[in-house]
């Protein structure tokens, strides 16, 4: 059984936290073999992994909920973004994501990758900019099928590095640079040689959502049951706002279509019994996929659940200086 936690920023982080609470109440988390995560989902996964790695019986509210609520209650992005503007960082392109990594390490997760729990297997996904494929960080290995894998990961790699690489959303954050030893990576499909070594040595990782925002890649071929929690933002209908809006819009439309195709393929796989499982999303309802399964109505999904973040933003805008 595999659980996939999608990207989608802090919205996804908290959406998955609610889903995990229910799965924990049902006794499902203890039965999971794998938790695959992307971007905002990796923040939730890392918090759960940190709590499980403590070894004591899991206190859900104190061990998982409280740290995540405290972390997401503050803006962790702005300071990391502006760190790039400091003169001594002008020639360090990944300053922003490194600052984000320090935020994760200081306030949420102190584990090394090699200290992750043995079960379930936590797979934190980023996107390999060199080869254009899914890169994974796990307890026992790191890498991808083109570059190869290092097993075990470098001993001093913190969990915070994996989460930062998984969540460095472009263009706000530049890719995270990894200075790798090509000789330690084995089993990759890309032909051995100087070019391969140069690509691996200069590895740059960006947000895992650029390749697969659902985090399906590590589990769908190998697991009999696939659970997918999708906290990604519903596509926002908008009027033309000029050149910059169009540049962003081209990418958003392409990503939205890729996401829609992947979700429909997932639902069809459930219908055809290729594997068992379920899917739940911020703005989705069973009626969207021609299924008879029970669930929220489309109106509740699109008019209430998916708009919670916007409503919260409007309330903040109406606050007085003392309120």
Question: Which parts of the chain sit beneath pLDDT 50?
Answer: 311-323
pTM for this structure? 0.87
- In DSSP notation, 198-216 reads HHHHT-EEEETHHHHTT--
Give the pLDDT confidence score for residue 244 in this predicted structure: 80
Give the pLDDT confidence score for residue 230 in this predicted structure: 94
Give the pLDDT confidence score for residue 124 in this predicted structure: 97
- In DSSP notation, 116-148 reads S-SSSEEEEEEEETTTTEEEEE-SS-EEETTTE
Q: How many residues does the chain have?
A: 323
Residue whose entry in the numeric block shows the structure tokens 């985090």: 215
What tokens appear for 180 in the block? Answer: 């790798």
Q: Three-class SS of residue 69?
A: helix
Q: Please give the Cα distance from 107 to 103 (Å, whole number).
A: 6
Strand partners, 136: 125, 143
HEC-encoded secondary structure of 250-276: HHHHHHHHHHHHHHHHHHHHHHCCCCE
Which residues, 6 or more positions from 250, have their beta carbon under 8 angstroms from its beta carbon?
none
Q: Three-class SS of residue 194?
A: helix
Give the pLDDT confidence score for residue 215 in this predicted structure: 95
Q: Are 134 and 84 in contact (CB under 8 A)?
A: no
My answer on whether omega of the bond before 152 falls inside 30° of 0, hence cis, is yes
Give the pLDDT confidence score for residue 316 in this predicted structure: 45
Q: How far is CA 57 from CA 30, 53, 63, 134, in A?
A: 12, 10, 10, 33
């Amino acid at each position: 059984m595999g659980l996939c936690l999608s990207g989608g920023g802090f919205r996804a982080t908290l959406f998955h936290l609610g889903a995990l609470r229910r799965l924990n109440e049902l006794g499902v988390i203890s039965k999971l073999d794998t938790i695959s995560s992307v971007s905002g989902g990796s923040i939730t996964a890392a918090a759960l992994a940190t709590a499980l790695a403590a070894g004591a019986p899991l206190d859900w509210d104190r061990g998982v909920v409280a740290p995540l609520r405290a972390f997401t209650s503050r803006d962790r992005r702005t300071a990391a973004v502006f760190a790039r503007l400091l003169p001594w960082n002008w020639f360090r392109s990944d300053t922003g994501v490194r600052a984000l990594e320090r935020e994760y390490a200081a306030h949420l997760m102190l584990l090394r990758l090699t200290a992750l729990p043995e079960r379930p297997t936590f797979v934190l996904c980023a996107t390999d900019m060199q080869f254009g494929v899914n890169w994974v960080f796990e307890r026992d290995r790191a890498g991808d099928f083109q570059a190869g894998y290092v097993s075990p990961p470098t001993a001093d790699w913190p969990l915070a590095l994996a989460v930062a690489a998984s969540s460095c959303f472009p263009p706000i954050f530049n890719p995270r640079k990894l200075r790798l030893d090509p000789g330690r990576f084995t089993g990759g499909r890309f032909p051995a040689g100087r070019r391969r070594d140069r690509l691996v040595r200069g590895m740059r990782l960006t947000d895992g959502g650029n390749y697969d925002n659902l985090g399906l890649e590590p589990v769908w071929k190998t697991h009999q049951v696939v659970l997918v929690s999708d906290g990604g933002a519903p596509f926002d209908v908008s009027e033309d706002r000029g050149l910059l809006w169009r540049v962003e819009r081209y990418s958003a439309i392409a990503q939205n279509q890729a996401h829609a195709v992947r979700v429909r393929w997932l639902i069809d796989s459930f219908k055809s019994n290729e594997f068992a499982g379920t899917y739940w999303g911020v703005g989705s309802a069973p009626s969207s996929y021609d299924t008879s399964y029970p669930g929220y109505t489309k109106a509740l999904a699109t008019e209430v659940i998916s708009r919670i973040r916007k409503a919260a933003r409007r309330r903040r805008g109406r606050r007085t200086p003392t309120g």
